[in-house]
């Protein structure tokens, strides 16, 4: 709902940094996406939601700091950093796999900070709920002073999402896209190298078959020369067997296949993160603008102390209330989804590294 539809007796000074036109089309498409709706119904998604929410509740009951309780759910990071470090020591990881793990960790931290901001925005929004409640329950003759006091507090609150600028999400997306390009390029090179080695292996195999055939003929010829054949045969056979073993060792492709599979898993994980942060960035822009709109309404109403303005503001706050809660819940849903995808891609990586696990 655009601001132009409401004819307020004062002019709003709206300070939203996000352009609504640049985000609405993409967000509308994701809202009705069947793929997202299906994911939100999966057991794994429901499980991560319950774990995060339960951890926040249990942590907040033992700590008065919202920042502390939000940031402490890194214990839900799967597999743990110590486990991944041990796997690196045991199996050795490609440098790009380490970059993938670091990108996942950074994404997790951003989601932690976003959840902290979302919870703070919800806490600030309780003031607007209180204003609506006062307007509905307190007689008009007694409500003005209390309402203006609450509106003054609403307008004084900083926007919790002010740190999450479009530029920040753009830089994050560019970093992930560059990593994705490096992963796919490296994976393609490894696949080509493996195919080349397989072709060479087949060629060497044909050459060895030919060599064995020539050797057999040579041994038959030498057998007619008595002692010469007996003396030279073992040497020729051992020489050829030695060349065969060296060729087999040089043309092993198992390690290349393993690294290629790991790079493929990492590339899929990074691609998913790019899509997640595209959506989260758009949703953060909408929620930021909605918060700024509420602050602007409260600020201008406080500066205009008129009863007709107050009635118009109350009507707008009721509409703002439903929009805000809808966007807040949508934002939380996609943050949980991003956390789920980070853990899912890390677990898939471990499963490929240690199939027996």
pLDDT tens digits for range 231-258: 555 555 565 555 555 555 555 667 888 8
pLDDT at 104 over 80: yes
In whole angstroms, give the CA distance from residue 317 to residue 321: 6
Comparing C-alpha atoms, which of 323, 309, 324 is closest to residue 7? 309
Task: Look at residue 213 and give its three-state secondary structure.
Answer: helix
Residue 7 has pLDDT above 70, yes or no: no
| pLDDT tens profile 62-76 | 444 455 445 556 667
Q: In the structure encoding, which two tokens stand for residue 223, read together?
A: 């057998």
- Report how far residue 64's alpha carbon sits from residue 113's, in angstroms, rounded to the nearest whole number: 17
| 276: in domain | yes
Total domains, the chain: 1
Q: Given this model, what pLDDT does residue 10 score?
A: 41
CA 220 to CA 252: how far, in whole Å?
34
The pLDDT value recorded for residue 150 is: 80
Q: Judge whether 30 lies within some domain.
A: no
Q: How far, in Å, CA of 185 to CA of 166, rounded?
A: 28
Per the domain annotation, does 178 fall within a domain? yes
pTM of the model: 0.74
Q: Average pLDDT, whole number, for the chain?
A: 75
DSSP state of 130: H
Domain that holds residue 271: 77-353
Residue 286 domain flag: yes
Least confident of 54-58, 63-67, 209-213, 217-221: 63-67
- With 0-12 CB in 10 A as exposed, 13-18 as middle and 19+ as buried, what is 208? middle
Say if CB 176 and CB 277 are below 8 A apart. Answer: yes
Q: Residues 128-185: pLDDT tens digits?
A: 888 777 777 666 666 677 777 888 888 888 999 999 989 999 999 999 999 999 999 9
Per-residue pLDDT, 178: 96
CA distance 233 to 214: 13
So what's the pLDDT on residue 345?
92
CA distance 250 to 244: 10
Q: What angle do CA 285, 336, 15 make, to 5 degrees?
A: 15
Is pLDDT of 1 > 50? no
10 Å Cβ neighbour count for 33? 12
- Higher pLDDT residue, 339 or 233? 339
Domain membership of residue 57 (yes or no) is: no
Mean pLDDT of 175-201: 88
pLDDT of residue 11: 44
Whether 35 maps to a domain, the answer reads no
Q: Within its chain, how far is the Cα of 145 from the centroid?
A: 46
Reference 149, options 134, 139, 168, 170; nearest CA is 134
User: Is 55 inside a domain boundary?
Assistant: no
| Mean pLDDT for the stretch of residues 305-314 | 70
List the helix and strand counts (H, then E) for the chain.
11, 0
| Cβ-contact 300, 151 below 8 angstroms | no
Can you give the pLDDT at residue 284? Answer: 94
pLDDT, position 164? 92
- Cα separation of 133 and 135, whole Å? 5
pLDDT level of residue 262 (50, 70, 90 thresholds): very high
Cα separations (Å) of 72 from 45, 56, 120? Answer: 20, 8, 16
Is 161 among the domain residues?
Answer: yes
């Amino acid at each position: 709902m655009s601001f132009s539809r409401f004819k307020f007796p004062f002019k709003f000074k709206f300070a939203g940094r996000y352009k609504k036109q640049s985000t609405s089309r993409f967000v509308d498409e994701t809202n009705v996406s069947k793929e997202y709706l299906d994911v939100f119904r999966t057991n794994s998604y429901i499980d991560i939601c319950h774990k995060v929410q339960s951890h926040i509740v249990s942590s907040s009951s033992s700590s008065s700091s919202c920042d502390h309780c939000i940031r402490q759910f890194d214990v839900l990071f799967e597999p743990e950093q110590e486990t991944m470090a041990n796997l690196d020591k045991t199996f050795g990881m490609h440098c790009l796999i380490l970059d993938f793990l670091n990108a996942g960790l950074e994404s997790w931290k951003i989601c932690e900070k976003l959840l902290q901001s979302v919870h703070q925005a919800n806490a600030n929004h309780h003031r607007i709920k209180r204003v609506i409640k006062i307007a509905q329950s307190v007689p008009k003759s007694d409500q003005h002073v209390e309402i203006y006091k609450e509106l003054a507090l609403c307008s004084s609150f900083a926007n919790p999402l002010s740190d999450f600028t479009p530029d920040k999400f753009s830089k994050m997306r560019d970093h992930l896209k560059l990593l994705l390009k490096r992963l796919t390029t490296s994976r393609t090179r490894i696949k080509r190298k493996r195919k080349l080695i397989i072709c060479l292996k087949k060629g060497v195999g044909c050459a060895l078959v030919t060599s064995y055939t020539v050797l057999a003929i040579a041994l038959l010829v030498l057998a007619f020369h008595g002692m010469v054949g007996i003396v030279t045969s073992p040497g020729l056979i051992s020489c050829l067997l030695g060349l065969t073993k060296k060729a087999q060792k040089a043309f092993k492709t198992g390690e290349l296949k393993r690294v290629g599979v790991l790079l493929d898993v990492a590339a899929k994980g990074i691609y998913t993160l790019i899509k997640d942060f595209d959506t989260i960035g758009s949703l953060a822009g909408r929620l930021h603008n909605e918060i700024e709109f509420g602050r602007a309404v409260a600020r201008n109403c406080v500066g205009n102390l008129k009863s007709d303005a107050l009635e118009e503001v109350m009507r707008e706050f009721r509409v703002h209330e439903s929009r805000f809660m809808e966007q807040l819940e949508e934002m939380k849903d996609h943050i949980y989804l991003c956390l789920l995808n980070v853990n899912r891609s890390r677990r898939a990586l471990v499963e490929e590294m240690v199939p027996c696990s």
